[in-house]
Amino acid sequence: MNKNNYNDAQDDLHSFEAVIGLEVHSQLLTKTKMFCSCQNIFGKEPNSMVCPVCLGLPGALPVINLEGVRLAVKAALALNIGINKKSLFARKNYFYPDLPKGYQISQYLDPVSSNGYLAIETDGAEKRIRINRLHIEEDAGKLIHIGNESYVDLNRAGTPLIEIVSEPDISSPKEAVSYLKELRDILVYLDISDGNMEEGSFRCDANISVRRKGAQKLGTRAEIKNVNSFKFVEKAIDYEIDRQIDVILSGGNVIQETRLYDSKENVTRPMRGKEEAHDYRYFEEPDLPPLILDAEFISDIKKSITELPHAKRKRYIKEYSLTEKDSEVLTQDKNIAHYFEDIIRLNNGRVEIKKIANWVINDLLFALKAKEGNIPKQEDFFNLILEVENSNINKNAGKIVLTEMLLTGKKPNDIIKEKNLAQVSDEKGIEDTIKQVFKENQKELEDLIGGKDKLFGFFVGEVMKKTRGKANPQKVNEILKKHIENYKKGGN
């Protein structure tokens, strides 16, 4: 390839844009399955959480789980998607061993919710990703392959799912990930889903096509399945965009197909042709009446929706003057956000909120990630912050206390007493220690006075060592400086 061609190719590469739509399946945290009264729990012995209905036994009939409907409507309200007061269940027919009835009960022509949007942050600006629909359906069972044999576990069969289908408004892998994160945060926040991608309770398929910038017509799309982490979503879409551009630039045509992402090789590969050639023969589920939602049902759900992560983030920035980054970390997990807000209430203006945020992010979350242990009670953690901020102990000692708190659950004051960590601030004591250190390090002292300023830190360290970390470092600095100045001036 000569240089000119290469540049052309580069130009070409940048003359494309990606068009991405996402289909998200999220399990609902209901007590029972969507159409029967079996428990909706995981990790039980295969085929132990089953009944005639979810086994698809002859004669068994589905019954709508209103709790599932409630969670779906809650999700729709939180995602600004219109609620349809009348919706229909439909059968999606196909044969597969994990689908005991030979059809999945889903919603097709009239979903419970349609037309909405989700706002995401992209490059500091807000972008609205339109959502086409949100509907209720049931999950299939699981196949377990052992050697040459395959087994069917139907514990998952019939568990409730919502499918959320976006419009093709997403234009980069990054946007796709922020859409998914935002979506998951909301579902987890509202206790609609546990949002666990690895375990498959939050799953994503991506429809991807590329076109020349400015073109009106959409390119042929490929559907990517089997992506089970945010990182892989980003990589898979990235790969697929490049692949499609390559196909077009080398004169080929993208074909409409379903592709699977292989995370080990970081490639997408076409699924075997046969599996995607489905005609699902959708039709209205004759075993279920239309789902009619009255205004009271909807307004009751509306009342149960609490502050969403996006709004929380904005409030933290505005009300607490936190950075965007810190706000995001604090709001990612609802439990952390609630913990943080509890401490702010305890604080009642005493300590600067920014400092509290730092304590939570840099000390508490960091320590929890690094070490074993349980999150301390809000009161205890706040008392620790107070001890440090009031200079009763220094920051280093604070860290020691925190580690101990996580491990033992003891109160900070007890730990401080036990470990004798109260800070030494009396000048006389510090002065005596400094004199002692000078005596033991004559040569270094001479060098320092002679102009080797770097050695100042060495002396601070020695003093701290002698006080076993308890000295108030600020005081040490102050007094040490005073003494050195005196020496320089030719004093004692």
Partner 1 sequence: MDLSNLTIHQINDLLKYREVKSADITNSYIERIKKIDPVISAYLYTDFEEALSNAEAADKIIQKNKDFPYLTGIPLSIKDIFLIKGKKTTCASKILNNFISPYDATVIKRLKKNNYVFIGKTNMDEFAMGSSTENSAYKITKNPFDLNRVPGGSSGGSAASVSADLCAGSFGTDTGGSVRQPASLCGVVGLKPTYGLISRYGIIAFSSSLDQAGVIANDVLDAAIMLKAVAGFDEKDQTTRKFEIKDYPEIVKRADKSIIKGLRVGIPVEFFSEGLDSKIHSKIMEIKDLLKDLGAQVVNITLPDTKYSVAAYYVIATSEASSNLERYDGIRFGGRFNEGKGIQSLDELYRKSRESGFGKEVKRRIILGTFALSAGYYDAYYKKASLVRKLIIKNYKDSFNDVDIILGPTSPTPAFLIGEKISDPLSMYLSDIYTISVNLAYLPALSLPAGVVDNPTKKGGVLPIGLQLISPWTTEAKLLSVAKVIEDEVKFRDKYTPVI
Shortest Å distance, C-beta 39 to Zn ion: 9
Q: Angle between the 173-189 and 230-249 helix axes, to the nearest 10 degrees?
A: 150
Q: Quick check: 52 and 59 in contact, CB under 8 A?
A: yes
Q: Quick check: 330 and 360 in contact, CB under 8 A?
A: yes
Selected range binding Zn ion among 29-37, 148-156, 215-223, 302-310, rule: CB under 5 A: 29-37
Q: Walk across the sheet containing 90-93 and list its strands.
A: 103-106, 90-93, 283-284
> Is position 165 an interface residue for partner 1 (rule: CB under 8 A)?
no
Shortest Å distance, C-beta 156 to partner 1: 16
Residue of 30, 73, 81, 103 interacting with partner 1 (CB under 8 A): 103
Nearest to 346 by CA among 334, 332, 333, 360: 360
> Is position 346 an interface residue for partner 1 (rule: CB under 8 A)?
no
Strands 103-106 and 90-93: antiparallel
> Is position 409 an interface residue for partner 1 (rule: CB under 8 A)?
no
Could you say which of Zn ion, partner 1, none residue 38 binds, taking C-beta under 5 to 8 angstroms by partner kind? Zn ion
Interatomic CA distance for residues 410 and 428, integer angstroms: 33
Choice between 154 and 360, CB closer to Zn ion? 154
Interatomic CA distance for residues 458 and 474, integer angstroms: 15
Q: What stretches of 15-133 show up as alpha helix (H) in DSSP?
A: 66-78
Shortest Å distance, C-beta 32 to Zn ion: 8
Residue of 36, 183, 301, 360 interacting with Zn ion (CB under 5 A): 36
Residue of 3, 5, 59, 369 interacting with partner 1 (CB under 8 A): 59
Residue 440 token pair: 């033991």
Interatomic CA distance for residues 309 and 188, integer angstroms: 10
SS3 4: helix
Shortest Å distance, C-beta 73 to partner 1: 19
Choice between 8 and 287, CB closer to partner 1? 287
> Is position 62 an interface residue for partner 1 (rule: CB under 8 A)?
yes
Could you say which of Zn ion, partner 1, none residue 57 binds, taking C-beta under 5 to 8 angstroms by partner kind? partner 1
Map residues 330-359 to x or -, x wherever contact with Zn ion holds by CB under 5 A. ------------------------------
> Which residues ranging from 82 to 101 are in contact with partner 1 (CB under 8 A)?
91, 93, 95, 97, 100-101
Q: What is the DSSP letter of 39?
A: B
Q: Is 162 exposed, middle or buried (0-12, 13-18, 19+ CB in 10 A)?
A: buried
> Which residues ranging from 46 to 105 are in contact with Zn ion (CB under 5 A)?
51, 53-54
Could you say which of partner 1, Zn ion, none residue 409 binds, taking C-beta under 5 to 8 angstroms by partner kind? none
Close Cβ partners of 428 (under 8 Å, ≥ 6 residues apart): none
Choice between 98 and 333, CB closer to partner 1? 98
- CA pseudo-torsion sign 101, 107, 109, 110: positive
Q: What stretches of 144-278 show up as alpha helix (H) in DSSP?
A: 173-189, 230-249, 273-276
Selected range binding partner 1 among 56-64, 131-139, 204-212, 305-313, rule: CB under 8 A: 56-64
Nearest to 101 by CA among 250, 286, 276: 286
Cα torsion through 212, 227, 183, 254, rounded to 10: 20
Q: Quick check: 309 and 317 in contact, CB under 8 A?
A: no
> Is position 279 an interface residue for partner 1 (rule: CB under 8 A)?
yes
Choice between 19 and 36, CB closer to Zn ion? 36
Choice between 7 and 37, CB closer to partner 1? 37
Q: How many residues bind Zn ion (CB under 5 A)?
A: 5
Shortest Å distance, C-beta 288 to partner 1: 6
Cα torsion through 380, 383, 385, 389, rounded to 10: -170
Q: What is the DSSP letter of 43?
A: S
Shortest Å distance, C-beta 152 to partner 1: 7
Choice between 55 and 368, CB closer to partner 1? 55
Could you say which of Zn ion, partner 1, none residue 353 binds, taking C-beta under 5 to 8 angstroms by partner kind? none
Could you say which of partner 1, Zn ion, none residue 54 binds, taking C-beta under 5 to 8 angstroms by partner kind? Zn ion
Interatomic CA distance for residues 288 and 280, integer angstroms: 19
Close Cβ partners of 172 (under 8 Å, ≥ 6 residues apart): 18, 20, 122
Shortest Å distance, C-beta 139 to Zn ion: 12
> Is position 57 an interface residue for partner 1 (rule: CB under 8 A)?
yes
Shortest Å distance, C-beta 293 to Zn ion: 24
Choice between 152 and 353, CB closer to partner 1? 152
Angle, CA of 224, 225 and 229, to the nearest 5° = 105
Could you say which of partner 1, Zn ion, none residue 95 binds, taking C-beta under 5 to 8 angstroms by partner kind? partner 1
Shortest Å distance, C-beta 186 to partner 1: 31
Interatomic CA distance for residues 22 and 262, integer angstroms: 18
φ/ψ (deg, to 5) at 162: -115, 145
> Which residues ranging from 15 to 54 are in contact with partner 1 (CB under 8 A)?
52
Question: Which residues form the interface with Zn ion (CB under 5 A)?
Answer: 36, 38, 51, 53-54
Question: Which residues form the interface with partner 1 (CB under 8 A)?
Answer: 52, 55-64, 91, 93, 95, 97, 100-103, 152, 274, 279, 281-283, 286-289
